[in-house]
């Protein structure tokens, strides 16, 4: 019950950046991976996904590690992950991919959506 209190339903929460440790809950929902450019103060969406367990997903997510390589520790770029605990995650993921057009989403790039 404590995890649900820290991660309320239908509310976006930043859970990690490259500057701090990642603490992911074992809950279902949707997530967005951003790269923040601290020099130009811009944020670009890299990937949108959904999962039944955030903790399990990020421990072995290939795309997450590929995007993380774009943000070395000494650079002015920051990798940021926002999560949203939700029950209708498939529909929300599809809408966000169509709207944001993230480059690492294969389904968007292959034209399935």
Three-state SS for 83? strand
Does the pLDDT of residue 110 top 60, yes or no?
A: no
The tokens describing 30, both together, are 């949707």
> For the segment 2-14, what is each residue's pLDDT rounded down to a tens digit?
455 666 777 888 8
Give the angle 109-112-113 at the CA atoms, nearest 5°: 90
Domain boundaries, the chain: 2-103
Is pTM, for the whole model, over 0.95?
Answer: no
> For the segment 26-47, what is each residue's pLDDT rounded down to a tens digit?
778 899 989 888 889 999 999 9
Integer angstrom CA distances of residue 33 from 67, 72, 110: 8, 16, 19
Does the pLDDT of residue 1 top 50, yes or no?
A: no
- Residues 6 or more apart from 92 whose CB is under 8 A from it? 30, 50, 84, 86
Across 6-73, the runs of DSSP E, i.e. the strands, are 12-17, 29-37, 42-51
- Give the model's pLDDT for residue 19: 57
């Amino acid at each position: 019950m404590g995890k649900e209190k820290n991660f309320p339903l239908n509310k976006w929460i930043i859970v990690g950046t490259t500057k701090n440790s990642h603490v992911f809950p074992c809950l279902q929902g949707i997530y967005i991976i951003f790269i923040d450019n601290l020099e130009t103060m811009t944020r670009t969406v890299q990937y949108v996904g959904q999962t039944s367990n955030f903790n399990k997903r990020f421990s072995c997510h290939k795309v997450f590690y590929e995007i993380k390589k774009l943000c070395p520790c000494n650079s002015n770029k920051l990798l940021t992950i926002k999560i949203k605990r939700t029950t209708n995650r498939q529909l929300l993921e599809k809408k966000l991919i169509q709207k944001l057009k993230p480059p690492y989403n294969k389904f968007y790039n292959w034209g399935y959506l």
